[in-house]
Amino acid sequence: MKKLVLLALAGGVLASCSKDTSEDEVSSYQVPVEVNSNKTELANRISYFDEQINLSGKRGAQSATLTKKAEIESIVLDGFHLSATGVDSRNSNGYARTFLSFHTRGEEYGGELLVLDHSDPNHPTILQSLVDHDADYNDITIGQNYVRVWIAGDRSVDASGYSNTNGAVASKYWLNGNKSFDVDPRWEEAPVLGYSGNSMTRVPNAGTACSSKAETWITSGSNGEVRVLKACDVDGNAPLHQRIVDNAKHFDFDPNSKTGVLLRGLTDSTCAIDVYDLTSRYNFTTYTLPYDVTYLGKNGVKVEGNYVYLALGDDGVVKVDATNGNVVNTFKYSGGDGYANAVATSSANLYIANGSDGLIVIDKNNFTFKGRYAGSGSCNFVDALDGYVYLANGDTGGFILLKED
């Protein structure tokens, strides 16, 4: 069961299938993962479309159109229907891969990672499924050149025996030459402070000792932290940067402006953004905003240049100038009961994963409403890449791929 008790927590330990260290440093727990590469079984989960979406609720002439290209059904694991939670998609070194994360809603545990080949972006195929019976997967990021996949989530303390966490974990899986998992995948895992890992973000060219110079930024929620590790090493090394944060939500950065932003909750009516200048490592400036965060649930962050877009639950989406903390614009969908969970941007549009309301599309510059696409589930997360929009759409909607027209 997911614990709701408060504990005094100390620093992290590592559980690993690839290291031989003393029992007082490392748990002997082995993650109960299963890898499925059966092409027929996996193909049965995906349906293809070429269906233009008429965005509902538009005001005036429709100025955004989308075409539905594919939908992937979520699975039932140990009697519980998994819910799609996160997406990371990339084209690199001749490979096109999309990784999807799923978790169990409620008090039980169960997670899945799906590996997609999107070489033909209009017709992606499922290469693999990895399921974990004791963990929820909340956010995912792909390492440089698909060497590793990082996941933020939470694991059953009753099953794992971890003593320094209420459940939050940062996990790392190695990928093989096909940019997928081995049958018996190599993994490492660091329990972190808090009940749940909320976000996992890879920052390249950060100047670490890794050959890629990359860092991994991890946030965990209630009674949690923000922790920065070398992206090539999750095990036992002292964090490059660590702050105990009562309600750390999500971190994102822009590689061009070298700006990173951490969103965290303060009170029932206020939150804060910590704006990091990544050229001077871990120096940050804090700005307080008159909005609250969602206590249980996502609050996604998107940094673009010197601006940051914040998904603030029932307060909608807020655009902030990261150089001075000024609120530039706000948008709140008034046609339903959903919460703003995450945001993504394209050249012209801002996409909002708005929970039970589905996907909300607004103009990125002036925040005018363009329309809504309501799938059958609850829209938890959205990503956009190269003219395609990726929706993690909960337990009944699964994963949906849309093309911008």
pLDDT score, position 245:
93
To the question of pTM greater than 0.85 for the whole model, the response is yes
How confident is the model at residue 27, as a pLDDT? Answer: 53
CATH class of the domain comprising 33-404: mainly beta
How far the first Cα of the chain sits from its last, in Å, is: 45
Q: Give the amino acid at 390.
A: Y
- Partners of 304 in beta bridges: 307
Domain residue ranges of the chain, discontinuous segments joined by +: 33-404
Q: What span, in angstroms and rounded, lies between the C-alpha atoms of 9 and 70? A: 44
Pair type for strands 80-92 and 95-104:
antiparallel
pLDDT number for residue 91: 84
Q: In a structure prediction context, what are the per-residue pLDDT tens digits for the chain, which is 405 residues long? A: 443 322 222 333 344 443 333 232 345 788 899 999 999 999 999 999 999 987 877 655 456 689 999 999 999 999 999 988 888 988 888 899 999 999 998 889 999 999 999 999 899 999 999 999 999 999 999 877 788 899 999 999 999 988 878 999 999 899 999 999 999 999 988 889 999 999 999 998 777 777 778 889 999 988 899 999 888 765 556 788 999 998 999 999 999 999 999 999 999 999 999 999 998 889 999 999 999 998 777 899 999 999 999 999 999 999 999 999 999 999 999 988 899 999 999 999 999 999 999 999 999 999 999 999 987 778 989 999 889 999 988 766 689 999 998
Task: Fill in the DSSP letter of residue 158.
Answer: H
Write down the pLDDT at residue 188: 87
Return the HEC string of 287-348.
EEECCCCCCCCCCCEEEECCEEEEECECCCEEEEECCCCCEEEEECCCCCCCCECEEEECCC
pLDDT score recorded for residue 31: 87
